[in-house]
Amino acid sequence: MTHTTTTDFAGSAGAPIEDVDLLVVGGGKAGKSLAMLRAKKGDRVVMVERDKVGGTCINVACIPTKTLISAARVLREVQGAGAYGVTLPEADGGASALERARIALAALRGRKEAVVGAMVAAHETMFPASGMDFVKGTARFVAERTVEITLTDGSTRRVRGARVLINTGTTPSVPAIEGLAGVPYWTSEDLLALPELPGRLVVLGGGVIGVEMASLMGLLGVPVTVVHAGEHVLDREDADVAAEVTAGLEALGATVLTGARASRVSAAPDGGVVVTAQDGREARGSHLLVALGRSPVTANLGLEAAEVETTERGFIKVDDHLRTSAEGVYAAGDVAGTPQFTHASWNDFRVLRDLLAGEEASTSGRLVPWAVFTTPELGHVGLTEAEARAAGHEVRVAKTPTAAVPRAKTLGRTEGFYKVVVDADTDEILGAAIIGAEASEVVTSVQMAMLGGLTWRQVRDAVITHPTMGEGLNIVLDSLG
């Protein structure tokens, strides 16, 4: 274990350098997991986090978003409860009173903050309990494997790691669109603070964040217009999958403009905003959400001093062992170009865990599923149909409406479809897209089958519990014969 303070000085400040076994810059999923593990094993570990204890996911992404979506779905259930035979006494308004249910914004905000706050508090307990030195401050590299940390009280520390992990994540991108800087707008992080419900929301961008936020607002009764430059929302998905997601948004009252690249944003006379596309189409709203992707947090890290190279977009270059261009320095999670999902960052941790323990591990060839928490949900794993064909596979496609699944009928949630792409020659399952209730859970079954090397015939003939949404896998694969 390394734990020394040397008389070596870096820079004019004259602060002595503290030497540690592991220095983690940024406490995202990979960083905090590795820091706690190595500290428990007896390593001297310093982890620096600027402002989000526990990482982006807990504070301004997955957890608050899904907390709000869960509440919005409850609202929609209450409003539609009459269809399930649920009512109130006539003196209280009967079923029509349920239809008039609305969200209490302060209470919704309070629940979200309570969920986030509890998780942050848990991390503030877990971090010191692991034995790590958790430092709140801003780190900047000043030499190889060495950072200067500006603490919240203005003082500084200098720390050098025998090994270094950079896990600083990403932040919402705000492209240079004419007029955008001159109008008020939200990023996804601003919206999650729930300052108010818009009268009408314009969403710039139809990627994962854009469609999730549009769906959330639609559930809350807010009219939404999505403005997306691509041919369809969720650019990576097959066109039929994107069309079904779009139908879900439209069912919530949203308008979706595709092939609409924003060229100008301006203030409306009524105090709202107007987004004008290159083809002249306009979207007007009281509020504007900019959901045009996320950018890596690398600009002010001093990576040149650490000899860490980045891509043109600013992501840190890594190999399939998450090694950077600098000896002893690793990067993980979003900032390293890992797919921008917490579960992918957690897998980065496992790769690093094994590598630092002297075992072989790699990010190469891993199967990373994803879910989009629109209503209905989209769960996806593996190749799309278009990707499979482009890769040279002889493809067969199984596709069945979610309405064919008995459990969907009992839930009263029949929107969507199950789609599985298989190799016609080998019977290998290449990928799946599932749209419907609990799709984010069902897709894990497909992932496990793929990891286990099961053919589509084996999944088709598996005895799956009835009635469940997972049983839809039997049903969809039966369509292949």
Cα separation, 319 vs 225, in Å, equals 40
Burial per residue of 259-296, b for 16 or more beta-carbon CB atoms within 10 angstroms, e otherwise: ebebeebeeeeeebbbbbbeeeebbebbbbbbbbbbbb
Cα separation, 116 vs 59, in Å, equals 6
Asked, as a colleague might, if the bond just before 376 is cis with ω within 30 of 0, I would say yes
How crowded is residue 180: how many other Cβ atoms within 10 Å of its Cβ? 19
Q: Amino acid identity of 296?
A: P
Give 304's contacts (C-beta < 8 A, 6+ positions apart). none
Cα separation, 334 vs 435, in Å, equals 26
Cα separation, 387 vs 233, in Å, equals 17
Q: Are 273 and 183 in contact (CB under 8 A)?
A: yes
Closest by Cα among 321, 319, 331, 325 to 306: 325
Q: Which of 3, 228, 321, 466 is catalytic?
A: 466
DSSP labels, 234-264 = STTS-HHHHHHHHHHHHHTT-EEE-S--EEE
3-state secondary structure 267-311: ECCCCCEEEEECCCCEEEECEEEECCCEEECCCCCCHHHHCCCEC
Q: Are 224 and 214 in contact (CB under 8 A)?
A: yes
**Is residue 466 among the annotated active site residues?**
yes
Q: Are 206 and 228 in contact (CB under 8 A)?
A: yes
Catalytic residue ranges:
466
